[in-house]
Structure formats: structure tokens, C-alpha cells
Structure 1
């Protein structure tokens, strides 16, 4: 039952936002009493904490699976982008913004975990690119990894990149190209250009 509550709550939060969904909504959608939910979770904030952990773990597992495929690091970043966009398409009510505004403790905790995971993931990608002569030898790996994280989280800021001007997938696509063009070698640029072209076809 607890697992089912988490899955249904995840669905509702992604579709309607963390602020809008109530315990009554979750109970009604599941056809159970609110009391049943309270036997597993103390309050709504507890459910939100569990749901954000659940989504974070799912995304990390998917990214790990992509990294295990043995693609070159440029292909790898595009494959990750594609998978992340599938998650973002399920977000209909700016859940990240609502989390930041109404549940800052949960937001800050997940952002810190996200940074730790992405830092390790991007450093690995950069080192792979250096080994394969796809990224420039003179890049400072720790700096580039942090700038990447800063940019990828920054483009989600609605005040800086309003949806009326920037569509989600196009924005991510532009940022990824911007990131890669700054670090690729001529060999890497050829692969990047081919990937961009294949995405246009």
C-alpha cells in the first residue's frame, strides 16, 4: 500500500504541483481513506520528501544505465538529455519552483544530492572525453563540472528563462551545445555536428 501511495502521489505532484495536491486528493484518486494514508505518512510534507527521493533515485538509475552503455561521452550527454526530457514532459505545473517556494528544506536537500551526483557523473564524462581525445586537454575538470551543474539548474529558473520565450527541450538542447562547443576538440566537434544534424533530420 505504501508503495502505491508513493506512485500515485508522484503522478499527482508531477501533474498538478506540490502545493495544489492535498491528502484528500491522493486518497480520492486511490479510492482509500485519508486515515489509511496517515498510517504510512505523518503529513503531506513527509510524502513530498519520500516522493522527491523516489524521483531522484529513478532519474539517477536511468542515467547510470545510460552511462553503462559504453557510448562516447558526447553521445552519452545527448542520451541523458533525451531521458531527462521524458521526465520533464510529465511536469505540468512547475513542481521544482513550487518545491523551492513552499518546501525549501526538501528543495535544498534534493539540490545538494543532485549536485553531488551530477558532479561525479560529469567529472567521469569529462575524463572519458579527455581519454578519447574528444575534449580539450587544457580544460579544468572540476571547474567545467561545476559550471555545467550551475547552468543546467540555472536554465530551470522561470524568471530568467520564461516558458513564453524558451521551450523546455529547445533550451536544454541549446545549453548542451553551448557546453560542448566550449570543450570539444576538432574530433569531438565532428561527432557533435553529426549528432546535431541527426536531431534536425
Structure 2
């Protein structure tokens, strides 16, 4: 790993763990044992280094999610796993995005624009694979389907404006809502796989004793 790559990697870790606003160029230079002048010569300013570091973090997270579902039994299970990963990482990612939006709006706009495009491509590829495998109907409007997934996920993990029934966790609500979405575009074969996935992975419900 060359010096520039090493700096980006270290800066990424510091921004994620210590906070975007609190990490200064002096802190990064001191941590790496390089001069601040070197940082400015390589990156120009903190904003560009921040962009490169955050781009690496989000791409790394995206690739980790993809790798985690590499052994999924089918594309439907893979989509459940990917969306579950989004749910699991939502708190950290939202904290980073909120700080970017507040303190570095130009970096925020660039990151969200590029990140949204990558995520939409990934989801469309999976939907297309589902159609090819006979799990989804071939009349799907991809733009609408992906927008619904985004809106649903953000309602629970980001905006938190969805009122959940008493005793229901965000994870349970997320799985149920996503399951219902998939049922709406699934073939009979796809429906069977959704039911199979839920039997194996959905959190067990507590038994209610009759009084």
C-alpha cells in the first residue's frame, strides 16, 4: 500500500470512529507520522481527503454486503440479506451522512448522488436476476420498485416516522414489510422461497399463553 492509500485508509478509520468534524488534518498527520504539508500536497484540502475516505468506507461496506450474500441459496435470499445489512449499518451510516450534510454539504451531495446510483444498479441487477430465475414477474417497473424499497427502508432506519405496533422491533417490522413487498412482485415459485426464508430466519415470536 503506497503512502496515499495508507493515508486514505487511516483517515477513513478516524472519521468513522472519532467523528468527521472532530478529526483535523493535524490529527491525521500526527497519527500517520507525516507532515501536514504532505497531506495538503497529496489531497489539496480536508474536503477532498474526506470525500476519498468516505467513498472508500461506503464502497467497502457495499462490497462486504455483497460478499456476505455470496452463498445465498437464491437471489431472493440474497436481497433479504443485503437489505438486512443496510438495516444493521443504518445507525453508523446515518450518523456519517448527517455530519457530512451539516458540515460538508458538497461532499454529502456527491456521496449521496453516487451512492444512490450504485445501490440502484445493484438492486436492479438483483431484480433482473430474480426475473431470469422465475422468482419475480417480468412486468416490474424497476424505478418504482427500487423507490419503494428505498422509501420503506428509510422510513424505518432513517426518518423513523413509521409508527410500529407495541412490542414490534424495527427488525421485525422491516422483515415483514420487505416480505410483503416481495410477495407483490413474486411468482408462485418466488412466494414459496419467501415463505421458506421466513421460516428459517424470521425472529421467533414469543408464545402467548391463554388465560
Alpha-carbon distance, 1:173 to partner: 4.1
Distance, in Å, in 2 between the alignment partners of 1:141 and 1:104 is 29
The higher radius of gyration belongs to 2
Checking the alignment, whether the CA contact within 8 Å between 2:131 and 2:137 is kept in structure 1 is yes
For 2:54, the equivalent position in structure 1 comes to 52
Whether 1:185 aligns to 2:194 is: no
Q: 2:6 aligns with which of 4, 7, 12?
A: 4
Checking the alignment, whether the CA contact within 8 Å between 1:152 and 1:175 is kept in structure 2 is no
- Structure 2 CA distance for partners of 1:91 and 1:63, relative to 1, 3 Å: closer
**Structure 2 matches for 1:73-112, cutoff 5 A?**
73-81=75-83, 83-84=85-86, 88=89, 91=92, 94-112=95-113
Provide structure 2 residue ranges, at least 5 long, that are not aligned to the other structure: 205-211
Checking the alignment, whether the CA contact within 8 Å between 1:16 and 1:93 is kept in structure 2 is no
Provide structure 1 residue ranges, at least 5 long, that are not aligned to the other structure: none
Whether 1:28 aligns to 2:30 is: yes
Distance, in Å, in 1 between the alignment partners of 2:134 and 2:93 is 40
Aligned residues: 198
Distance, in Å, in 1 between the alignment partners of 2:19 and 2:4 is 20
- Structure 2 CA distance for partners of 1:46 and 1:116, relative to 1, 3 Å: same
TM-score norm. by structure 2 comes to: 0.72
- The alignment's C-alpha RMSD in Å is 3.5
TM-score norm. by structure 1 comes to: 0.75
- Structure 2 CA distance for partners of 1:129 and 1:108, relative to 1, 3 Å: same
Q: RCO (CA 8 Å, sep 6+): is it higher in 1 or 2?
A: 1
Report SS of the residue matched to 2:101: helix
Checking the alignment, whether the CA contact within 8 Å between 2:14 and 2:23 is kept in structure 1 is yes
Greater Cα shift, 98-107 or 176-185: 176-185
